[in-house]
Structure 1
């Protein structure tokens, strides 16, 4: 009896450890999600700091020619052209799926339709995104953060050899962590997976907790590395007059129409670029060289039309532009956003969409202030509501849009007008037959992939036939 006692005392923790580290253990999945969140937060923070560093380095290099007779916008052309061209080359050569925002790729991977080659995608998306965004293109950092976060989730899944269901949960957890860290918005990161990826996400208590854990840990790491301030510093508005809520609903109706056409233009821009480069590398890189040159010049001449647009939002909401200037910037930023995102550059469209929504919201607010001066005293409120309106209409994720704006701006008292605006935008977009942009982008990617496979099979069949004839 005495000899068996030590064996039994040792077997209890051994059985516990074996059970804890089994592939089916929910506790293990939660801990893996925490690791994923930490890595996704660190990756997003490094990506953010890298964009700032490379952008400042580019501007310092341009400014060093200030004493010469050459205009600075001409100096910016070859520098930005080289950066963007290199980003396009890295993407096409090593990981074509790293082009664009990457969010449709994550959604496709969750459905088992797209591969996740994390060994290629993570470095290509990181360095390609730094070069593309640093060159001045109108792209956001959230798409790369989501895709890199999702790929980190798959990396951890492969390392620990979890089963397919758990691997999908960790993929979703990584995506949530990436978005939460990109915008310092944990609730929006969680809701984005639950709301936007609802058709792909396997709802269960464990998978939902995994998403929560990753988003929380990613946000903690991001705030530790970059600070706890809100991403966008704008005026904190109080509750608007309840009698003015119908104006926010009308603003949402406008965004429903705008969002429908905006999505169509994004898809048309991608088709136009595909027609131009036909997926040939030298043509694809040439597109990058050209766009880099254009946005390099714009970043010096008219910086309001370049970059992601997040840095423009405080100026817009602060009333620094008149209505005429707002309209011009709004129209031209639509063009620059389409030109940048449609090209397949490694960058997202979240941030440019938020900037466009803010521009139109402020325009609408100024018009309402002119028509109803006693009812609308602060047009900037409509700029805040507009941030979520276009996002809700385009992505068709209204709750994510509401939470994203509140967390990014700390305007918690704007929740009611935000709900009304996003609800109106979603209702009109759905009524007009609009579909979520990322769903359409995934479908387009699958069509192109299937067409390329058929062409490759036909080419191999022709080669085989020619060999047999010889």
Structure 2
């Protein structure tokens, strides 16, 4: 009977685990549907506001071209002020009790995303984008999809772990709806946000991502943001050109992110309110768009145009520089949105310019410039996001061409490593935080006792009298005094209990030297010891401190190491793991 009961119990537990797994996948699919509709609602919000303000339902670039120059100048500025007012409103109702960003809600929060604040921030983003702000719409689309998942999970009373996973599923649905790349969307969330591709989380996230993509395809007006041409065959030494493009992207992507950071710092220094700062950012975009209306929006239209038409290199340089300036003004002033799409824009422009140079230098062997634009998008994204796998999959899903894979992989991987070598930079704070944590973890793994040694005053010579030792014990609350010889070499310890008992047992104990009470059971530490070896020493000794010497062959006393400092180092190691 006991064996039968155990077998039945084990079977029941297996059944519950399977049901739980299947239920998670079903909920992930449901969140994929909800996330898709959330992004559709965001798109419609932008289109409706654009029609209300301009009377146009064309693309933002075409709308900007149709507007009179004064309107083209002032509309982004007015939009910036209104978007700033909405954003200021959202900040006033921010209680600060939980993270509002979906990445933080997944990684360091409990999956609960504030409703009113997120809606106001999304509305602010709609105003910025509809009035020509040079920023991506994907950030708010992902945020809304994640918010929908959070609300659904809270309604179902999911625990924190399942709620975080559900929010991750919603975020994946959002990015898939934006870019028509379900696998890359799932990898984006697991590689960048979750930090690892484990099947327990990747499976549900992938289901949500694919489901969202299926839903989006059912709408007649939906089409992928980029219309990729057929990628040409690349043979032999031509591949080396894409390696050079990867190096260039890896060098430029961190500079682009640094420029955006510098713009944010400069805007924050202005003695103006947030709405006025965002109004100034919009005015800068409007002024640029008077000369080049292509800077309006996130750059989809321009990238699609250079992929299918041969722009002169002078126009490419002008569009690249002015778009970077417009993006820096919009994002730097505080607008809500993403820099994911502007990053793809810059990568396409850099790649196209590189392609023009390659064709000019090596016309017989170089593919058309648009091929470099496609790889440049992936390489720049890989370097900026510190996510080469996601970048490779995204461009592959956009092109659906195996011809692109070899140059794309080389370009993305090379760009990633060049960017990492040039310094710590990423478009996502969560990636920077994880990188810093990983560096701290690696540093702590190799930390030695030398970094924990501190000077100690509880030291006496071999001939020190009991009176001197007693004075030291009275001044310092320790159990042992370290004894050294004339050359400051560690010889052992004198215990407080021995001095106390000696004073009680022998009336003339005050005149006895320290060496008569010497003990040798306290093994010293050395500077080159790692934490593990030092911890073993402490486990054999119940005290708070251990002496540290130069080496076992030359035991000059350097100081002491406390158990507290050692455990603190281990705590930081555990927290960083």
Give the TM-score of the pair, scaled to structure 2.
0.65
Residue matched to 2:105: 109
The superposition leaves residues 289-341 of structure 1 with CA deviations (integer Å, 9 ceiling, x where unpaired) of 22333434544541222211111012222343211111122122111111112
User: Over aligned residue pairs, what C-alpha RMSD do you find?
Assistant: 3.0
Structure 1 residues 116 and 83 mapped into 2: Cα distance closer, same or farther (>3 Å)?
A: farther
Structure 1 residues 124 and 56 mapped into 2: Cα distance closer, same or farther (>3 Å)?
A: same
Counterpart-to-counterpart distance in 2, 1:93 and 1:224: 36
Residue matched to 2:142: 146
Counterpart-to-counterpart distance in 2, 1:105 and 1:62: 31
Pairwise CA distance, 1:358? 0.5
Residue 346 of structure 1 pairs with residue 336 of structure 2: yes
Pairwise CA distance, 1:371? 0.7
Selected match of 1:321 from 311, 318, 321? 311
Give the number of the structure whose residues are more often helix, by fraction: 1
Please tell me whether the aligned partners of residues 90 and 121 of structure 2 are also in contact (alpha carbons under 8 angstroms).
no
Alignment of 1:76-115 (within 5 A): 76-95=72-91, 105-112=101-108
Residue 178 of structure 1 pairs with residue 174 of structure 2: yes
Selected match of 2:47 from 26, 49, 52? 52
Residue matched to 1:37: 32
The superposition leaves residues 229-283 of structure 1 with CA deviations (integer Å, 9 ceiling, x where unpaired) of 4321232123222321111001000111101211222222222222225xxxx71
The superposition leaves residues 352-404 of structure 1 with CA deviations (integer Å, 9 ceiling, x where unpaired) of 11111000100000100011111114121101111111111110111111222
Please tell me whether the aligned partners of residues 278 and 334 of structure 2 are also in contact (alpha carbons under 8 angstroms).
no
Counterpart-to-counterpart distance in 2, 1:135 and 1:388: 28
SS in 1 for 2:229: coil
Counterpart-to-counterpart distance in 2, 1:182 and 1:226: 15
Name the structure, 1 or 2, with higher relative contact order (CA <8 Å, separation 6+). 1
Please tell me whether the aligned partners of residues 45 and 182 of structure 1 are also in contact (alpha carbons under 8 angstroms).
no
Give the TM-score of the pair, scaled to structure 1.
0.79
Please tell me whether the aligned partners of residues 110 and 161 of structure 2 are also in contact (alpha carbons under 8 angstroms).
no
Counterpart-to-counterpart distance in 2, 1:152 and 1:317: 35
Gaps of 5+ in 1: 1-15, 64-70, 444-470
Larger Rg, first or second structure (1 or 2): 2
Alignment of 1:188-203 (within 5 A): 188-199=184-195
* Larger displacement relative to structure 2 (422-431 or 205-214): 205-214
- Equivalenced residue count is 409
Residue matched to 2:268: 274
Please tell me whether the aligned partners of residues 186 and 215 of structure 1 are also in contact (alpha carbons under 8 angstroms).
yes
Pairwise CA distance, 1:171? 1.5
Alignment of 1:40-439 (within 5 A): 40-60=35-55, 72-95=68-91, 105-112=101-108, 116-199=112-195, 205-225=199-219, 227=221, 229-276=223-270, 283-299=273-289, 301-439=291-429
Gaps of 5+ in 2: 1-11, 59-66, 434-577
* Larger displacement relative to structure 2 (383-392 or 283-292): 283-292
Structure 1 residues 338 and 126 mapped into 2: Cα distance closer, same or farther (>3 Å)?
A: same
Please tell me whether the aligned partners of residues 356 and 369 of structure 2 are also in contact (alpha carbons under 8 angstroms).
yes
SS in 2 for 1:197: helix
Please tell me whether the aligned partners of residues 45 and 225 of structure 1 are also in contact (alpha carbons under 8 angstroms).
no
Residue matched to 2:548: none
The superposition leaves residues 116-175 of structure 1 with CA deviations (integer Å, 9 ceiling, x where unpaired) of 433124422332221110111111111111212222222122111111211111121111
Structure 1 residues 129 and 267 mapped into 2: Cα distance closer, same or farther (>3 Å)?
A: same
